[in-house]
Structure 1
Amino acid sequence: MRHRQFVTVNDVARLAGVSQAAVSRAFTPGASISAEKKERIILAAAELGYHPNQLARSLIRGKSNIVGVGVGDLNNPFFNQTLQLLSTELDQIGLKLLLFPAHAVTAEEPSISEILNYRLDALVLLSVSLTSRLAEECGKAQVPIVLYNRTTLRDDASSVTGDNALGARTMAAHLLAGGHERLAYIAGAEGASTNIERESAFFAAIRAAGLTEPRLERGNFDMAETAAATRRLLASKERPDAIFCANDLMAIAAINVARHEFGLEVGREISIAGYDDVPMSSWPAFSLTTYAQATPDMVRNTVRIVCALRGDATHHERVVVQGAMRVRGSTRPVRLPIYPAA
């Protein structure tokens, strides 16, 4: 079996009759080289099929131009949309995205080593909790960390989140304005900062209105677990008249159970609401009332912070981006909703 022979910079230099340094300058934007010599080098490279190794070149300069992204749940369209926007934004400023699944950014040492072997300019964690060990190892390697849709009390990482407390209070105000009195909350993962903030603010708003505290079930951001939680709520003696779910996928699972297993008319006999505003939420089949995260603004802030950290790895920020209500048919109509101020 014949091995592929890679064309090197030496081959191009020899064919073009120039030095290796001249070949390097020809492929470096803004470098000083005559137009005639550059054209000769480009023609030689094309003839030989040579392409410069951008990764090797960037490492020599001390920057890989690669941003690692750890993703917690690719089944959630919210993160697919984020990845698409993030990839586009990074590409526009000459940076590339390298994707790591969630298990590669938890406690497994080989996976952490794999991440750090790429000499990333930064690591962005999409709804992935930051472990102390990962933070410590990235700190040693001078790889700054940005959490997206998660918060941290650490002072060695940046974060970009939506205003979860405002979103939950706004949803509570909407459901209360619809005359609901028996409310329930289907929570996400217990340790997720997004769920903690949404749950705490929603319960506080309901208590402040003088109503009984919402019933709590846990769906763990999983559609099957949420379906089971919805069945428990709807089969109970005191069936709730409104369910707020910690994200849209869970709300869609709840709608399916309410409609197809219990025969309820969603939006009239029971209100169901979510959080995020994923594309499926606006489909007529669901018409889901939800609190929309401002994903483009969150991504722009993330990229801005990454750029700042490439210059100063200690320049950490905590950014909170406000979203907006999307009222659709899955909740009871409200003539004059009164929402809390930001």
Structure 2
Amino acid sequence: MRTSATAQEVARLARVSQSAVSRTFTPGASVSDATRERVVAAAKTLGYRPNALARSLITRRSHIVALVMGYLQNQFYPLVIQQLSQLLQREGYHVLMFISDENETDGALAEILQYQVDAIVIASAMLSQDLAQQCVDSGVPVVLFNRLPDVDTTRPHTISVSSDNHEGGRLVAQHLVERGHRRIAFLAGLENSSTNVERERGFVEGLRDAGHSVWKRAVGHYSFERAQAATLELFEGTERPDALFAANDHMAIAAMDVLRHQLGLRVPQDVSVVGFDDVPQAAWGSYQLTTVVQDVPAMVEATVTLLKERMDNTAPARSIVIGCRLMERGSVRAAPSASSARASVRRKANVSPATRS
């Protein structure tokens, strides 16, 4: 069996230097069009394939970015994986994905660093102080995707890309209050995740500014099954919420299934539901979920920009917050008309004190 052709053989056939062959197959390297054409033609004739591992020993760059995910249940993260991988590949990098425990990434750290990755992106997982320090010691930049570092573990090297989760929570509160809701419940995700903390903080502040507060709260842990159980908890008893904000679409969809099929409630006539993410399923005809849109393309582009800056040591560590917006669909009831609002006020005014509840 014939062994693979070498770079030296390609160089001889193309009548160029071996370094020209190397530059031709190195993303971003400078080489003339004429030289590239000759090298590619010679490589095709000889069946030459560049050895990425051998090149990494010389350049000390593997062109591999590790992507660490805590879980893939949420339909938001497959979108991220697809778009991030495609953009990195266009930039000459490849993604090596690791699935870790959603609360701790340290278990995968030793294995990740064995691959001599150029950088690490952490999504839907937590960054510990030990992990951050080990990456710094190894010279490997880390980007937190849709996560913010813990206050206690923030370091000058830590960089992050996230949506404006706080503003998204405020938008939901304003929208539900404008639609006449008063008994507004919140379905939380993971209590210690920055996404949940920021979304809830914005939501609570938005309600407070309008003179309201969260009427009831339960925790769904960003899990479909646990969100279903939490929804039953929120809607037990005779006086139920008239609106529900779930900290992501995954839980909002679970809640809508429970409301309709187990509790016999209508969405939005009996209860309005709002999510966060705008995953593809949110637009399905059976859900038509009103939700906060996370701009995935902008977040992915910002992540790759930060990665390249840090790998090239061309910029200090920094964090980027991407704006979000509310996508209105059919899961929230229409705003009360001015005439119906006046009629409601008149009805309340005509109720005697003895008969008021």
Name the TM-score class by shorter chain: 0.7 to 0.9
Q: How many residues align?
A: 327
Name the TM-score, length of structure 2 as normaliser.
0.84
Tell me if structure 1 keeps the 8 A contact 2:65–2:121: yes
Question: 1:94 is aligned with what amino acid?
Answer: G
Gaps of 5+ in 2: 25-29, 338-357
Shift of residue 313 of structure 1? 7.8
Shift of residue 72 of structure 1? 2.1
Aligned 1:121-136 pairs, distance under 5 A: 121-136=118-133
Query: What do residues 110-153 of structure 1 show as CA deviations (whole Å, max 9, x unaligned)?
Result: x3121112222211111221011111111111000100110013
Shift of residue 333 of structure 1? 1.3
Question: How many Å separate the matches in 2 of 1:106 and 1:258?
Answer: 35
* Residue aligning to 1:106: 105
Aligned 1:225-240 pairs, distance under 5 A: 225-240=226-241
**Percent of aligned pairs sharing the same letter:** 37
* Residue aligning to 1:340: none
User: SS at 1:166's partner residue?
Assistant: helix
Question: How many Å separate the matches in 2 of 1:42 and 1:296?
Answer: 33
Question: How many Å separate the matches in 1 of 2:326 and 2:314?
Answer: 36
Tell me if structure 2 keeps the 8 A contact 1:143–1:313: no
Question: 1:139 is aligned with what amino acid?
Answer: V
* Residue aligning to 2:61: 63
* Residue aligning to 1:262: 263
Tell me if structure 2 keeps the 8 A contact 1:160–1:302: yes
Q: Root-mean-square deviation (CA), in Å?
A: 2.7
Cα–Cα, structure 1 residues 262 and 253, in superposed 2: closer, same or farther, change >3 Å?
same
Give the one of 106, 122, 137 matched to 2:134: 137
* Residue aligning to 1:73: 71
Shift of residue 266 of structure 1? 0.5
Query: What do residues 166-199 of structure 1 show as CA deviations (whole Å, max 9, x unaligned)?
Result: 1101100110111111111010001100101111
Tell me if structure 1 keeps the 8 A contact 2:106–2:128: yes
Query: What do residues 277-313 of structure 1 show as CA deviations (whole Å, max 9, x unaligned)?
Result: 0000011100001011111111111111111101118
User: SS at 1:235's partner residue?
Assistant: coil
* Residue aligning to 2:272: 271
User: SS at 1:120's partner residue?
Assistant: coil
1:306 aligns with 2:307: yes
Cα–Cα, structure 1 residues 314 and 32, in superposed 2: closer, same or farther, change >3 Å?
closer
Question: How many Å separate the matches in 2 of 1:74 and 1:331?
Answer: 28
Aligned 1:186-265 pairs, distance under 5 A: 186-265=187-266
User: SS at 1:124's partner residue?
Assistant: strand
Shift of residue 58 of structure 1? 3.4
Tell me if structure 1 keeps the 8 A contact 2:288–2:330: yes
* Residue aligning to 2:23: 28
Question: How many Å separate the matches in 1 of 2:32 and 2:260?
Answer: 69
User: SS at 2:305's partner residue?
Assistant: helix
Name the TM-score, length of structure 1 as normaliser.
0.87
Deviates more, 1:264-273 or 1:209-218: 209-218
Deviates more, 1:24-33 or 1:277-286: 24-33
Question: How many Å separate the matches in 1 of 2:34 and 2:241?
Answer: 76
Question: How many Å separate the matches in 2 of 1:321 and 1:31?
Answer: 37
Gaps of 5+ in 1: 337-342
Question: 1:118 is aligned with what amino acid?
Answer: Y
Shift of residue 13 of structure 1? 6.5
1:7 aligns with 2:4: yes
Question: How many Å separate the matches in 2 of 1:33 and 1:166?
Answer: 49
Question: How many Å separate the matches in 2 of 1:208 and 1:332?
Answer: 21
Query: What do residues 2-24 of structure 1 show as CA deviations (whole Å, max 9, x unaligned)?
Result: xx875252783798598xx9445
Question: How many Å separate the matches in 2 of 1:136 and 1:112?
Answer: 11
Question: How many Å separate the matches in 2 of 1:200 and 1:14?
Answer: 62
Question: How many Å separate the matches in 2 of 1:286 and 1:17?
Answer: 60
Question: How many Å separate the matches in 2 of 1:75 and 1:56?
Answer: 37
Tell me if structure 2 keeps the 8 A contact 1:25–1:32: no
1:284 aligns with 2:285: yes
Tell me if structure 2 keeps the 8 A contact 1:206–1:214: no
Shift of residue 31 of structure 1? 5.2
Question: 1:125 is aligned with what amino acid?
Answer: I
Shift of residue 212 of structure 1? 4.2
Shift of residue 236 of structure 1? 2.3
Cα–Cα, structure 1 residues 13 and 277, in superposed 2: closer, same or farther, change >3 Å?
closer
User: SS at 1:273's partner residue?
Assistant: strand
Cα–Cα, structure 1 residues 9 and 208, in superposed 2: closer, same or farther, change >3 Å?
same
Question: How many Å separate the matches in 1 of 2:7 and 2:170?
Answer: 65
Question: 1:268 is aligned with what amino acid?
Answer: Q
